[in-house]
Structure 1
Amino acid sequence: MPGKDIRDRARGALMGALIGDALGLGPHWYYDLDALRRDYGDWISGYTDPQPGRYHDGCKAGQLSQAGFILTLTMRSLVARGGYDRQDFCRRLDEDLFPLLDGTPVSGPGHYTSQSIREAWRRRVEQHLSFEETGGPADTTEAIERALAIAVRYAKSPAAIAAHVVDNTVITQSDPLVVSMSTAYCVVLGMLVVGHKLDAALSDTLMHLVHTGELPFHAVTQDNLQPPRPGDPDPPRAGRFASPDALLSPSFMARAAADPDIRIEPAWKVSLVYGMPCAIYHQLPAAYYLAARFADDFEAAVLHAVNGGGQNQARTILTGALVGAQTGLSGIPQRFVDGLEEKKELLELAGALAATLE
């Protein structure tokens, strides 16, 4: 069943991401699938404790990792300021996150700090650089994991999503390809929140926004990717991204999910097809595929995401947001909400942010 309305879908996207974060807390970063099955059984079906000596050791089932902590920080900023306020977001990093870190991997909320956050901490706290200089080269999805809240807030304006997500992403990650792919994911998420489907037609809709100058991607093709005609001028660049390819990927993944001649069985093996590592170019194809294949089945989507091993926490966050935006909060099984340690506060925060859409 599709989400009831835009606010239901907005809450679904936010809670879906938070649920995905908590699901990945226990079995995070197992690249040996035999070891994953040994420690968690043949099928992970809910929240679990991290194993001693592994990532997030000391945390408990249903808690959020540092990714979830930063996502909620972003949500609080958006609610408090009524929208994206870079200065307020950076102040919260300075006051609410960075004092909890020490620059090492095993530190801070969730007992693990990702590379891009460690690099930003070092530049800001140790080197005393401005937030214009804190972005590093990490090719991971940490920016999406927080900026997805921005996508929800500005779901009705793809141009605003792109502008604010770019601005937020470069605080921690400066690689143009990472910024491009992060922005594209957030624009896709916004489209789902307003009611579009993750299907073969979605990329055509996104390309129309490129041609009208609403999205900052460069493209020389005409509609339906037809070649330019002799004499057509090189179009002015609408923004910083060299190509629209990051906007085309979602529909290709959706086509693969719908094609009866292409089957990934069981679906958790999407991690083997697209890759188990952390890099954004492994994570996004898997998330798009699962979100298209299980568009109306939140439970199947997130459980196949987490059971694939590797960087399954990011995969489940990204998948949970995309599917939650399609099913709405009303389509998420209640047990996933009930199992979150801070469910009351998280529901209230998601509701407050969703309320700003209309």
Structure 2
Amino acid sequence: MQRVAGAVMGALIGDALALGCHWYYDLAELRRECGPWITDYLTPRPDRYHGGLRAGDISQTGLLLVMLMESLVRCAGYEEDDFTHRLDTELFPQLDGTPMQGPGGYTNQSIREAWRKRVPEHRPWGECAGDADTTEGAERAIAIAAFYALQPRKMAEAVCSNIILTQRDPAIVAMSVAFNAVLAQLVSGAALTPQIGATLMAQVRSGALPFHMVTQGHLQPPSQGGERMRVGQFTSPDALLTAGYAALAAADPDIVIEPAWKVSLVYGMPCAIYHQLPAAYYLASRFREDYESAVLHAINGGGQNMSRAMLTGALVGAQVGLEGIPRRFITGLRDAQRYLGLAAELEQWAARPETP
């Protein structure tokens, strides 16, 4: 089963499926302009976000995921200098610091803040992160989680290192790393069930997953100085438990969210990661063997449906593998053959027991 390819392609397809119907917070307007049930790629209206792009295109967040995939393949592992060089030479010259501009039709807050500090202010990497509470870091790091799925410590350290390039809030970074720890488990063959939280906590206790454990040992608070943030500094491993509780809700017959797209109303439609992750976990558990249902319910919930669909798509894609993603979603994705080639190379590297 091609779980690595399923994760990254599942994310890119979720991103592209939401491109034409992104950021409708008025659900009546969404239904009126995009139809009662979105089932495929849409061309964005010219007066909305991503106007000028076509059905099947990916957003800037998707392009950043592809950029990181290319870096991992070229370097046979995560090399921060290679990735930041790509940002400096391939992305940042196309930005001007405003939202409605740049590749993909929209530039998210964390990337705008990094651009401002890096380009006009000439700061070094390591001093360019901002306070965005959103999911961009978690989304591009999907490639790292898939690549290092069999090496949880290396995965967590590389994911954290990449996310803190653009985001500096420790709680947001912890939740972003936790999402990718869940994803790595799924790529490794697990399913998103209520037991996944216990599995991740066992990795923390064994030292395989380097989260700070607050309930045992000689407790020391995380470093507060100028030291670069690292994964072991998180104040607790609680972010690792969210997926298991969402899965428990999906399995509990007394908890009913019908239709499932209303998960966006239960957990919230906004962009912040604490709205996005519970909804993605819920959908990825409820529809863990049904990629199409999972992403379509993510999209039809409106609001920040692009992140919801990208995160959900990665989680379900990892569980069903590339072969479990409907073929029409792959054929309708622009540049799909390029992305499939990168995904296949990632799959080959990830299959090795110890990647560099």
Q: Does 1:258 align with 2:251?
A: yes
The equivalent position to 1:308 in structure 2, one of 301, 306, 320, is 301
The equivalent position to 1:184 in structure 2, one of 178, 192, 196, is 178
* Corresponding position of 2:114: 120
Q: Does 1:110 align with 2:104?
A: yes
- Contact residue 216 and residue 241 of structure 1 kept, 8 A: no
* Corresponding position of 1:294: 287
- Contact residue 16 and residue 317 of structure 1 kept, 8 A: yes
Deviation at 1:239, TM superposition (A): 1.2
Give the aligned length.
343
- Contact residue 214 and residue 235 of structure 2 kept, 8 A: no
- SS of residue in 2 equivalent to 1:326: helix
Provide the C-alpha distance between the structure 1 equivalents of 2:152 and 2:193, rounded to a whole number of angstroms.
18
* Corresponding position of 2:241: 248
Deviation at 1:253, TM superposition (A): 0.3
* Corresponding position of 1:76: 70
Provide the C-alpha distance between the structure 2 equivalents of 1:101 and 1:235, rounded to a whole number of angstroms.
42
- Contact residue 221 and residue 235 of structure 2 kept, 8 A: no
Q: Does 1:330 align with 2:323?
A: yes
- Contact residue 256 and residue 262 of structure 1 kept, 8 A: yes
The equivalent position to 1:170 in structure 2, one of 161, 164, 186, is 164
Structure 1 residues 236 and 278, CA, compared in 2 at 3 Å: closer, same or farther? closer
- Contact residue 289 and residue 320 of structure 2 kept, 8 A: yes
Deviations 1:259-305 (A, max 9, x none): 11111000000000000000000000000000000000000000000
Provide the C-alpha distance between the structure 2 equivalents of 1:207 and 1:336, rounded to a whole number of angstroms.
35
* TM value normalised by structure 1: 0.94
Greater displacement, 205-214 / 8-17: 205-214
* Corresponding position of 2:227: none
- SS of residue in 1 equivalent to 2:257: coil
1:325 aligned partner, one-letter code: A
- SS of residue in 1 equivalent to 2:33: helix
The equivalent position to 1:275 in structure 2, one of 259, 268, 273, is 268
1:293 aligned partner, one-letter code: R
Deviation at 1:52, TM superposition (A): 2.1
* Corresponding position of 1:54: 48
* TM value normalised by structure 2: 0.94
Deviations 1:300-352 (A, max 9, x none): 00000000000000000000000000000000000000000111111111111
- Contact residue 219 and residue 235 of structure 1 kept, 8 A: no
Deviation at 1:233, TM superposition (A): 4.9
Provide the C-alpha distance between the structure 2 equivalents of 1:192 and 1:145, rounded to a whole number of angstroms.
16
Q: Does 1:355 align with 2:351?
A: no
1:123 aligned partner, one-letter code: K
The equivalent position to 2:213 in structure 1, one of 185, 209, 219, is 219
Provide the C-alpha distance between the structure 2 equivalents of 1:115 and 1:14, rounded to a whole number of angstroms.
23
Deviation at 1:213, TM superposition (A): 2.1
Provide the C-alpha distance between the structure 2 equivalents of 1:246 and 1:105, rounded to a whole number of angstroms.
30
Deviation at 1:218, TM superposition (A): 2.6
1:130 aligned partner, one-letter code: P
Deviation at 1:197, TM superposition (A): 1.3
Provide the C-alpha distance between the structure 2 equivalents of 1:57 and 1:44, rounded to a whole number of angstroms.
18
Structure 1 residues 51 and 201, CA, compared in 2 at 3 Å: closer, same or farther? same
2:315 aligned partner, one-letter code: L
Provide the C-alpha distance between the structure 2 equivalents of 1:177 and 1:215, rounded to a whole number of angstroms.
17
Provide the C-alpha distance between the structure 2 equivalents of 1:114 and 1:11, rounded to a whole number of angstroms.
26
Runs of 5+ in structure 2 lacking a partner?
A: 223-230, 352-356
Which residues of 2 match residues 89-168 of structure 1 at below 5 A?
A: 89-168=83-162
* Corresponding position of 1:225: none
Provide the C-alpha distance between the structure 2 equivalents of 1:96 and 1:49, rounded to a whole number of angstroms.
25
Runs of 5+ in structure 1 lacking a partner?
A: 222-227
Provide the C-alpha distance between the structure 1 equivalents of 2:218 and 2:170, rounded to a whole number of angstroms.
25
- SS of residue in 2 equivalent to 1:84: coil
